[in-house]
Every structure is written in C-alpha cells, then in structure tokens.
Structure 1
C-alpha cells in the first residue's frame, strides 16, 4: 500500500499500486482519445460536438467521484469534488488566456484543437511535477501550509487589483526568447511546428504558440496546486482532481468561448475563492503549529462556499452583461499593464 499525506478529515487515504495503475491507465486512455480527436483529426469543432464531449468528460469525473467515495468514504469523496470544482473553475480562467493566445497568434480554427490538446498535456505534466513536490513539502514541513496560504492570498490580491486586464503574451519569456533566437516562418505550414524552407530548418508560429501555452500552464500550475492542496492534502485526490478538470478543457474551450466574454465578474469570483482557500490554509497551519484552539474550515463548508461564489459570479455576470452588452470580460492579470510597459 502507498500511504500519502493525511487529509483534512483526519484519516489517511491509502491507495494501492493497482489503484494508482488503473487510475493512470484511465487518464492516459482519455488523454490518447483527446490527442486523437485534436491532433490526428484536425477540424473545426461545432457546438454539438463540443457539448457532447464536455458532457462526457464531466460525467466521467462525476462517476469516478461517486465510485471513489463509495470505496474510500464520502469524507474523501467530498474532498475530491471540492478539488475538482476548484480546478475546473480555475481552468475556465485558463481558457480566457488560451483565447488571447489564439487571437494574438491568429491560429487558424482547424489547428486550435491541436494547440489545446498539447496545452493540456503540458499542463498535466507540470501539475504532476508540482503535486509531487507539493505533497513532499507538506509532508515534511507543516509550515508549508502557511507558505501556500500566503501565496494564494497574494495571488488573490493581485488578481483582484488587475481583474479588468488581460495578461500580455508579449511578456512571456519563452515567446520573447523564441522570437529572438529562432527562425520563424510567416504561416502555419499545415499545422507543423518545424519545417524546411530552401533546405533550412525553420520553426512555424505553432511552435511559438506552444511556448506561450507552456509558459501560461506553468503560471497556472503555481496557483492551482496550492489552491487544491487547500481543499485536500491527499496527493492522489489532488492528482485526479487536476487530471479530470484538465481532460475536458479542449471540448469546453469550443463550448464556452462565445460565452467567455460575458463572464465579466469571473476574475473577481476567482480572486475571492483563492483568498478564501488562502485563509483556510493559514488557519490549518495555525491549528497544527500554533494552537489547537484555532478554528479550521471543514471540507463541506469549503465546497459550499466555492459553489456559492461560482453561482453568484456567473449569475451576476450574465445579468450585468445583459444590461450592458458592450462590457467584455477579462482574464485578469497578476501585473498591471503600466508595470509591463516599464520593462
């Protein structure tokens, strides 16, 4: 048996090697399916197809959660669903940035699936690394709950301050380096990343797009992993919550990209969620390392608060954008545009 860090419910989750193996096999199979749909069969995705696959991936996540809860108990099941909802809500903000990247690089619609699929693979790999590091740190040093909490509080504050801005793709260090040091073609050359022009190897804009996606995924991993560890300290739950939230991202992009502009309060809602989880982590650290008298926030309460904030944010956004159709939602940024201009 593999014992992972103790969850907030007080018990320890134990997942066998077979359990890990089956879970990883299912996720890899779903990833392969997504890869087949997005890369090997590039095409323009319609609303019906996007809706069908979005429902499929959400259903898979729910079925897994129910089975998992029946096997390991609904305490851990609640942690899974809370983690999944947190990661799913953060992934919607990720979609905002994907839209900005697609627009900035004028990615042809038939190649957008390929970009999204590779973006999901990169995000999943980065999250596995961060989950392993985060779980090890939390297991060794309880003060890391305080560190993660302060990181989330700072992120929430910055996101709220710059909620009406969009991140600048030109600030991406990988994209700047790519444009400076690599020979890049003018067009997408049938969706290839590398091609030959007059015998010379050159990169296409698709390669720069993937650099931008990778850099963005890195930043989102830095925020989302501490956020989900604020809901559960079980590495297995953190992994599956992230995996299932990311797997449906490709279909969700095509389903909601027309709706994204109307979610004018999404960045505000996400900043409140991150702040709430940040406070929850700080309280958890204080309860463990300072005094048992310090209250903690239970997982059912966390789940209710997160769902409540998302519902209020979505309804308020749709009402506000309905009253003023000229309003446009923004992804939010951790840096002000004036700060970027100074550099």
Structure 2
C-alpha cells in the first residue's frame, strides 16, 4: 500500500506522540487525583484540537502546499483534506465511546478524582491496539481488495443497528465482557484509592478500578471495529489513517470531561453517527463504481453532526434515554459485581 510518509515523517510523528504522552503523564502525576473542572477540560480540548490542525498544516506545507509545482500542491491539498475528514469522522465516532465510558463510571460509582487516571490508561491501550489493527487492516486491504465490500456491508449493518439501538437504556450488568471478568477474578466491593488490587479478609482481589480499566479497553476495541473500516473508506494511506486516529484519541480524555455533563443534551447524536456510518458504508460499496469525493464526505459528516446536535437541543429527550447506542444487546437485569460477591 502506497503512502506519502517518509521515514523522517514516521520518526517525527512517533517522537511527537511519545513527548505528548510523557507531558500528559507528568501533568497527571503532578496534579494527583483530582476532579477535572469544566474549565480544565475545555482548555485541554482546545489544545488538542489546535495541535491536530497544526499537524495537518505542517503536513500540507511539508508536502509542497506552498510550492510552485502544481502536482505537489494538489497532493498536499488532497492529503490535508483526507486527514481533516478522517480526524472529524474518528472524533465523531469517539463521542459514543465517551458516553459508554460515562455509563461504566456511573455503574461502578468511580470517584471523580480516579476517573482521570483510568481514562489515561485506557487511552494508552487504545493507541496500541488501534495501531496494530490499522497495520493489519492496511495489509489485508492491499492483498484482498474485496474486503472493502465486506467492510462497507459491515458499516451499513452497524449503522442500522446503531439507529435502532439509539435511545435505549443499556444494561451493563448483563454485559458479556463484565460477566467474563467476574468469572475469572475476585473483585472487591470497595475501592482502595487508585490501587488495582487490594486485600480484604486476607484474600488478594482486584478492585473495581481494575475492572473499569479492562472494560474501557474492551469497549474501545469494539468501537475500533467500526471506526477503522470507516477511515479506510476515506483514505488507504496508512500514515493518514494512523495519524488521524491517534490525534482523535489523544484528546479523548479531555473531551470526556467536557461532554460528560452534556450527554443528555445531545441525546440524538447517536442517530447522526448512525447516518454517518451508513453513508461511509455505502461509499465503500460504491468504490469501484463511483468514488465519492473526500470534500463531499467531509461536508456530509459535519452536516450530519450539526443537524443531530441542533435537533437534540430542540427535541426533549425521552425519560430514561441514555443518548448512546451501547454495542451489546440489553438483557434482563442481573446482579451487579458487588452483589455477586456477597
């Protein structure tokens, strides 16, 4: 699979990500456990968005966007547009992740000061897992072009399923991932600070915080199955696919605290995301018949999100609506993790 990236570009991008994560970890350790304010979340969200657009500005310049060669300017414009479109699609799909993270934190009653570290560890695992999945996906698409049709059909199915599930109240207690964790480890009913393990009545067991970390990682893998095929519908350049994903994820923690208190206000957002997935799935299925321009994909994505947000503000939410489409089918209520240990 061809890519515009040179070894220098890969090196600079990797170095930037490592430095950004190091700064984030140092800031996290220095601040310690604390409740993230709306002001702090807003500042960090704006910083990550600004950094993402500074990156695409540098990419456009590096590829010759300001040069005199028309071919290089055209290439720079195309790759910059691919990055922005992919970034916005991944950012939009990440909103559903955020609402599910909120549901997990609420279900396990995670104290607000502990949520920041839990999200940081979850984001680290997401970066590694998505990088692996993107590289595997790129390798498969090169060798088996027909997989584009499989991905397209899958996105269509997922979009329809998300539309039908939007607004339903999910039942995390019967989540198969949670049941799997409960069967394989003893979980303490209480937290022990930010520790992942504790000793209760002489028995070594995991704390609920460890279960939360595991569930966040599992949820991200589930959502990555949707989002990664979606980005391949926009571009097959591994460098653009990976960088747009990484930049969208890097700002996920700050965006969580920014949107956590607004999930009920944008209760129709899942419908907008479902429409986007159906559109992208159709684009993949038509790839050998008609290639929909990237600019159209960008315009459609922005329009769908704005319409969903505007309707959310105009139409009141139904009582009990969650505002998210959790990817596991709700089942009859079961005992919680703490109740199963009693």
TM-score, length-normalised on structure 1? 0.88
Please say if residues 79 and 237 of structure 1, whose CA atoms lie closer than 8 Å, have aligned partners that are also in contact. yes
Partner of 1:159: 162
1:173-252 map, 5 Å = 173-197=176-200, 199-252=202-255
Q: From 322, 332, 339, give the equivalent of 2:325.
A: 332
Q: Partner of 1:201: helix, strand, or coil?
A: strand
Query: Once the two structures are superposed, what CA deviation does each residue of 1:25-62 show, in whole Å capped at 9, x if it has no partner?
Result: 11122122333344662211111111111110000001
Query: Once the two structures are superposed, what CA deviation does each residue of 1:268-325 show, in whole Å capped at 9, x if it has no partner?
Result: 10000000000001111xx1xxxxxx2220111111111111111111111223xx69
Distance 1:34 1:166, change over 3 A: farther
Q: Partner of 1:52: helix, strand, or coil?
A: helix
Q: Does 1:303 align with 2:298?
A: yes
Distance 1:226 1:166, change over 3 A: farther
Q: Aligned partners of 2:241 and 2:261: how far apart in 1?
A: 30
Please say if residues 39 and 114 of structure 1, whose CA atoms lie closer than 8 Å, have aligned partners that are also in contact. no
Q: Aligned partners of 1:130 and 1:325: how far apart in 2?
A: 37
Partner of 2:72: none
Q: CA deviation at 1:243?
A: 0.6
Please say if residues 44 and 110 of structure 1, whose CA atoms lie closer than 8 Å, have aligned partners that are also in contact. yes
Please say if residues 38 and 258 of structure 2, whose CA atoms lie closer than 8 Å, have aligned partners that are also in contact. yes
Query: Once the two structures are superposed, what CA deviation does each residue of 1:105-163 show, in whole Å capped at 9, x if it has no partner?
Result: 00001000011111111211111111011100111111111011011001001111111
Deviates more, 1:88-97 or 1:14-23: 14-23
Partner of 2:135: 132
Partner of 1:69: 60
Q: Partner of 1:202: helix, strand, or coil?
A: strand
1:1-343 map, 5 Å = 5-6=1-2, 13-38=3-28, 41-72=32-63, 73-197=76-200, 199-284=202-287, 287=288, 294-321=289-316, 328-337=321-330, 340-341=331-332
Q: Aligned partners of 1:265 and 1:259: how far apart in 2?
A: 12
Q: CA deviation at 1:102?
A: 0.2
Q: Partner of 1:142: helix, strand, or coil?
A: coil
**CA RMSD across the alignment:** 2.0
Query: Once the two structures are superposed, what CA deviation does each residue of 1:65-121 show, in whole Å capped at 9, x if it has no partner?
Result: 111122230101000000000000011111000000000000001000011111111
Q: CA deviation at 1:336?
A: 4.3
Q: Partner of 1:189: helix, strand, or coil?
A: coil
Query: Once the two structures are superposed, what CA deviation does each residue of 1:205-235 show, in whole Å capped at 9, x if it has no partner?
Result: 1111112111101101111100111111111
Q: Aligned partners of 1:248 and 1:191: how far apart in 2?
A: 22
Q: Aligned partners of 1:179 and 1:242: how far apart in 2?
A: 31
Q: Partner of 2:261: helix, strand, or coil?
A: coil
Partner of 2:71: none
TM-score, length-normalised on structure 2? 0.89
Please say if residues 174 and 333 of structure 2, whose CA atoms lie closer than 8 Å, have aligned partners that are also in contact. no
Q: Aligned partners of 2:229 and 2:322: how far apart in 1?
A: 25
Unaligned 5+ residue runs, structure 1? Answer: 7-12, 288-293
Unaligned 5+ residue runs, structure 2? Answer: 64-75, 335-342
